Amino acid sequence: MAALPLRTIILVLDRAWRSNEMQRRQVLAALGLGIGFAGFRPSRTDAQSGGAAEIVDVEIVLAADGSGSIDDEELALQRRGYAEAITHPDVVRTILGGLHGRIAIAYIEWGGPYSQHTIVDWTLIDSEESAQAFATDLVEAPRAAQGYNSISGAIDYSVQKINSNSFNGLRKIIDVSGDGPQNGGRPVQAARDDAVAQGITINALVVKSRGGGYPGPRGEPLEEHYRNDVIGGFGAFVMTADETLRFNEAVRRKLVLEIAMR
């Protein structure tokens, strides 16, 4: 049987993962009966570095909403939430307990289609000290993003960050957080599919305001929009921060899950 392109296989597997259990088993079984992984090539990072990239357990881009719907106070609270999470003993313990005991992490903020900005560039976290240094840089950096809610732009920018860094993660994750739907740039589903086809998982944190937050583009709950249109890849999930689960606690739980997954 002729082998399918790797991109096709990955996208089919992603659809299977996000479908119901019966469909998931049927698709996985069909793939396992005779479809080979043809055309597999090393990642762009490996090719650029000649195989010298530093191996880490996971590469994570924290892609946080910095759009016009987030005021300065909310932005500061958001950054402090991430800073507290990355330095929390549970997260540090999870990092050090990994196969290699280190991760690579970058923090970006996004707004409109042409406004994505690296706030803290790729940092190796392999100790309490390196986690604290990342947190300090994060809370001290100036604001940069402008415009409104291009989640697709954030995903595309994050993919570029992953493909051009000097690390080789066993897993690659884009962690999108936002309080509103996609409403600018190319279709978010296309950006998601391109990322997933490269072996990248996209998870999401929905940030709900006291008023309940914004609906999705079809009037659906925002969590449903992120689940259907934004997340992708094996094990992809959505978590919600609201009055029940505080933002910094949600970020901490999410990081532990992402780092600990084998």
Encode 30-55 in three state secondary structure. HHHCCCCCECCCCCHHHHHHCCCCEE
The band of 228, judged by pLDDT with boundaries at 50, 70 and 90, is very high
- The whole-number pLDDT of residue 242 equals 82
Question: What's the mean pLDDT in 155-170?
Answer: 97
pLDDT at 101 exceeding the cut of 80: yes
Tokens 């570029």 found at: 160
* Cβ density class 104-134: b for 16+ within 10 Å, e for less: bbbbbbbbbbebbbebbebbebbeeebbeeb
| H helix or E strand, kind and range, residue 240 | strand 238-241
- Nearest to 200, CA basis, from 226, 225, 218, 176: 176
For residue 35, the Cα-to-chain-centroid distance in whole angstroms is 29
Task: Please provide the average confidence, as pLDDT, over all residues in the chain.
Answer: 84
More confident call, 154 vs 12: 154
Residue 21 has pLDDT above 60, yes or no: no
Domain with CATH 3.40.50.410 in the chain: 54-260
For residue 65, is pLDDT > 60?
yes
pLDDT band for 46, please (50, 70, 90 cuts). very low
Is the predicted pLDDT of residue 31 greater than 50, yes or no? Answer: no
Of residues 80 and 14, which shows the higher confidence score? 80
Among 238, 178, 250, residue whose Cα is nearest residue 208: 178
Looking at the predicted structure, is the pLDDT value of residue 38 above 90? no
Nearest to 170 by CA among 55, 249, 2: 55
Query: Tokens in use for 94?
Result: 């999870």
- pLDDT-derived band of residue 161, with 50, 70 and 90 as boundaries? very high
Does residue 40 register a pLDDT over 50?
Answer: no
Closest CA to 77 of 258, 253, 250, 223: 250
* Helix count and strand count (H, E) for the chain: 10, 6
Q: Which long-range CB contacts under 8 A does 194-198 form with residues at least 24 apart? A: 194/156, 194/159, 195/155, 195/158, 195/159, 195/232, 195/233, 196/10, 196/11, 196/14, 196/232, 196/233, 197/6, 197/7, 197/10, 197/11, 198/10, 198/43, 198/159, 198/163, 198/172
The angle at the Cα of 151, spanning 121 to 92, to the nearest 5 degrees, equals 40
Sort strands 103-110 and 116-125 into parallel, antiparallel or unpaired: antiparallel
Q: Which CATH superfamily is domain 54-260 in?
A: von Willebrand factor, type A domain (3.40.50.410)
Contact 130, 124 (CB under 8 A): yes
Q: What does the alpha-carbon distance between residue 39 and residue 21 come to, in Å, rounded to a whole number?
A: 29
Cα 258 from Cα 73, distance rounded (Å): 27
Name which residue leads in pLDDT, 96 or 29.
Answer: 96
- Taking only Cα atoms into account, the Rg of the chain, rounded to an integer number of angstroms, comes to 18
Q: Does 191 have pLDDT greater than 80?
A: yes
